[in-house]
């Protein structure tokens, strides 16, 4: 009965597919103890175990790679404008600039090819590489504008300037444009309501800043309850959204 059983030969070596990858691992070593010397034309002296102890000098696998220089083909936020030669880390250059086709390797031909023309230089679209990033940050927050609950006031650009400074932004008063309609107080009906103002960056880019009005009293007994994370709560508009704005 055993003779009738067919045994299939197993050829694992031929059926298995092997994947070979090149690994660049170079270690620079030096001997901790110098080997013994010998005279010319004499048999070298036998080394001891301590002569085979090495110290690591450099591991090329973890060695920091130098920056790469590329030429930008177009404007890249946070990096530069068209024709700029930038030097950045290789990982960022490969994944964010070269692969998407936003930059090319720095060569004399590419520098001349992607240089700005006279028409492109005259038509300025971006004041700096980081201006649009600042616009995005300003438009993503809800600015808390804290006003006095006891004394009469009228909203002015310096109130927005002070509120921006508390939020980590430094801005001049002449760069802030308030709504055309006057905002006066104190008025508890305006508590926790939104209005918009415009912040001009480098006299070119404009950010539409969302502000939320809050009242504050120096008397602890007159203070309103503190609202935790007010920017996550829904609120009503204080003014007509379509109303134009006035400059400072």
Tell whether the model's pLDDT for residue 16 goes beyond 80.
no
pTM score: 0.65
Which whole-number Å values give the CA distances from 215 to 51, 103, 190, 191, 220, in the listed order?
Answer: 78, 50, 9, 7, 13
DSSP category for residue 9: P
What phi and psi, each to the nearest 5 degrees, are found at residue 55?
-115, 140
The string of pLDDT tens digits covering residues 110-128 is 999 999 888 888 887 888 8
Other beta carbons less than 10 A from residue 246's beta carbon: 14
The string of pLDDT tens digits covering residues 176-225 is 999 999 999 899 999 999 999 999 999 889 999 999 999 999 999 889 98
Tell whether the model's pLDDT for residue 38 goes beyond 70.
yes
Parallel, antiparallel, or unpaired for β 103-105 and 85-88? unpaired
Q: What tokens appear for 235 in the block?
A: 């609120």
Q: Which residues pair with 211 in a beta bridge?
A: 143, 195
Distance CA 193, CA 234 (A): 9
The string of pLDDT tens digits covering residues 50-97 is 999 999 998 888 888 899 999 999 999 889 889 999 999 999 999 999
- Arithmetic mean of pLDDT, 227-232: 88
Contact between residue 145 and residue 163 where contact means Cβ atoms under 8 Å apart = yes
Distance CA 245, CA 68 (A): 45
3 state SS of 232: helix
């Amino acid at each position: 009965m055993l003779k009738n059983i067919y045994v299939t030969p197993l050829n694992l070596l031929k059926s298995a597919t092997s994947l070979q990858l090149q690994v660049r691992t170079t270690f620079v070593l030096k001997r901790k103890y110098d080997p013994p010397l010998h005279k010319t034309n004499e048999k070298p002296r036998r080394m001891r175990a301590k002569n085979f102890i090495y110290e690591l000098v450099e591991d090329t696998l973890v060695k920091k790679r130098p920056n790469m220089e590329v030429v930008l083909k177009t404007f890249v936020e946070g990096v530069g404008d068209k024709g700029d030669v930038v030097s950045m880390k290789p990982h960022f250059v490969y994944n964010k600039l070269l692969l998407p086709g936003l930059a090319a390797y720095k060569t004399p031909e590419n520098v001349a090819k992607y240089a700005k023309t006279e028409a492109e230089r005259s038509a300025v679209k971006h004041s700096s590489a980081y201006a649009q990033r600042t616009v995005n940050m300003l438009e993503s927050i809800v600015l808390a504008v804290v006003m006095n609950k006891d004394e009469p006031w009228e909203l002015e650009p310096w109130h927005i300037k002070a509120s921006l400074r508390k939020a980590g932004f430094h801005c001049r008063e002449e760069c802030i444009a308030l709504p055309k309609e006057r905002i006066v107080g104190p008025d508890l009906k305006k508590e926790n309501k939104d209005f918009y103002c415009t912040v001009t960056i480098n006299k070119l880019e404009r950010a539409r800043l969302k502000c939320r009005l809050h009242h504050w009293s120096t008397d602890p007994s007159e203070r309103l309850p503190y609202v935790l994370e007010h920017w996550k709560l829904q609120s009503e508009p204080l003014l007509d959204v379509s109303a134009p704005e006035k400059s400072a």
